[in-house]
Every structure is written in structure tokens, then in C-alpha cells.
């Protein structure tokens, strides 16, 4: 089975609000995590990553939080925009592994 | 799409016919991957390659074979397509470090 999963398959957000997308992972050996965004008809695009020696990492309008105690990962999007409508995947791996394991994804819909 | 192209982008074929999908990269990266994406399953690894003529199986490799005779090309073959192989197929490359992968635009395959 999959070692990474998302809590909710869909999320509806009002434009301008903040979005929080959650992900649970089960492999305690994983030490590197990635969030991808996939727009309709396109391949997944890298958003942000975080290593297990960090709890938080910020990018442009996005923040990833990692809680290793409960094996939980979240992606926060500030001031959600219509262009943020997409499917978001978390992925996990170990530093010495060449493969990623993906969760099933959360579909984010931004309401005008 | 990080210098990755996939061909064809769309294909409709009949059960029992052979199908070959091509992934081409312009970056000379060592690692290349083939995934399939189905509703509710996220991305699942079919096969991957860690060099010319060096390939290995992923979690859903049954019914698929791959070849890599040149660094820039990674071919995925369905020897005898079945309806269960109807899916969207993504190729990905991985720079030597860190672990994130970059995806191509995808090929939508329909097996009737």
C-alpha cells in the first residue's frame, strides 16, 4: 500500500483566504518530503520541499510544516488565488533512495 | 516541463495491440521514471532507470517493459495493451541531487 496519504480528497476555499492541505505519512525512515501541484491537463510541478531536520520551510505564499512526532505534513497557501486551483500531492522519500512515494492528492477549488 | 517531452500526447488503441510511449529529456540526467496516474491512486511508479541500459521495476510493473539505449530517451512498452492500462502516463527526471523529480506533460492512453 501507499506510505503517504492525504486527509481530505477535496478542499473548497474562498479566494483570499488561507488554505491548509494535510498529509500523513507512515514511513518513519522518510527524511525528505515534497509538495507538488498539478493543474488540469499538466504534469505535477514542484512547489516546495522540506527535510526531516526542519519543522518549517517557507516559500513564496507557501509554507510547509513537518511534525515528525505524528508523521504529519501540511502545506499552507496564503491568500489563495484562482490560479491555486489544482490537485496537490505530497511525496516522501529517503535521502539514499531514488524513488518517491505519492499520496492520492487533494483537489483544491478556489471560490470567487 | 524541465526539458522533458513525451510522445504521443494522446493515443487510442485496441486491446491486444502493442504500444510504445517515448520520453525525451534534454538535460542529460541519469535518473528517469515512468508513472501512471489513475483517479484515487495518485502517481504509481511503473519502472525507472538509473543509467543507459540500467532499469528496475516499480510497484506496478506487470504488463510493462522499458528500454533506455540513450541517456536522453526512456521508452515504455505495453506488449499487449489491456483496458486496465487506460491511464495517464507521466515521465519524470531526477537531477543528481536533491531528490525532487520533474515531470513531463503526460500521455493520455485509452485502450478500447
**Whole-number percent of chain A with pLDDT over 90:** 76
Cβ contact B99–A103 (<8 Å) = no
Q: How confident is the model at residue A80 (pLDDT cuts 50, 70, 90)?
A: very high
Residue A3: is its pLDDT beyond 50?
no
Flag whether residue B102 sits within 8 Å of chain A, measured between CB atoms: yes
Ranking A36-45, A54-63, A95-104 by mean pLDDT, the lowest is A95-104
| pLDDT at A1 (0 to 100) | 32
3-state DSSP helix/strand/coil percent for chain A, to nearest 5?
A: 5, 55, 45
Q: What's the rounded mean pLDDT across residues A28-41?
A: 93
Q: Locate cell 526539458: which residue?
A: B3
pLDDT digits (tens, 9 = 90+) for B25-53: 998 899 999 999 998 778 999 999 999 99
Judged on CB neighbours under 10 Å (0-12, 13-18, 19+), A65 is: middle
* pLDDT tens digits, B65-80: 999 999 999 999 999 9
Dihedral, A71, B44, A50, A77 alpha carbons, nearest 10 = -90
Q: Mean of the pLDDT values across residues B89-106? A: 86
Say if A42 is an interface residue toward chain B (CB within 8 Å): yes
Amino acid at each position: 500500500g501507499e506510505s503517504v496519504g492525504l486527509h481530505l480528497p477535496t478542499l473548497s476555499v474562498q479566494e483570499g483566504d488561507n488554505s491548509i492541505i494535510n498529509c500523513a505519512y507512515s514511513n518513519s525512515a522518510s527524511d525528505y518530503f515534497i509538495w507538488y501541484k498539478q493543474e488540469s491537463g499538466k504534469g505535477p510541478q514542484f512547489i516546495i520541499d522540506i527535510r526531516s531536520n526542519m519543522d518549517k520551510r517557507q516559500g513564496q505564499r507557501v509554507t510547509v510544516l513537518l511534525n515528525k512526532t505524528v508523521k504529519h505534513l501540511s502545506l499552507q497557501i496564503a491568500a489563495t488565488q484562482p490560479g491555486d486551483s489544482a490537485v496537490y500531492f505530497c511525496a516522501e522519500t529517503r535521502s539514499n533512495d531514488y524513488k518517491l512515494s505519492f499520496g492520492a492528492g487533494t483537489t483544491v477549488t478556489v471560490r470567487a | 516541463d524541465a526539458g522533458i517531452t513525451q510522445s504521443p500526447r494522446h493515443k487510442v488503441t485496441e486491446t491486444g495491440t502493442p504500444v510504445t510511449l517515448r520520453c525525451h529529456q534534454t538535460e542529460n540526467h541519469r535518473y528517469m521514471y515512468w508513472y501512471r496516474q489513475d483517479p484515487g491512486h495518485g502517481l504509481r511508479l511503473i519502472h525507472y532507470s538509473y543509467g543507459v541500459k540500467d532499469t528496475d521495476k516499480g510497484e506496478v510493473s506487470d504488463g510493462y517493459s522499458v528500454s533506455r539505449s540513450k541517456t536522453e530517451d526512456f521508452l515504455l512498452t505495453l506488449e499487449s495493451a489491456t483496458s486496465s492500462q487506460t491511464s495517464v502516463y507521466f515521465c519524470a527526471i531526477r537531477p543528481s541531487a536533491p531528490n525532487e523529480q520533474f515531470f513531463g506533460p503526460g500521455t493520455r492512453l485509452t485502450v478500447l
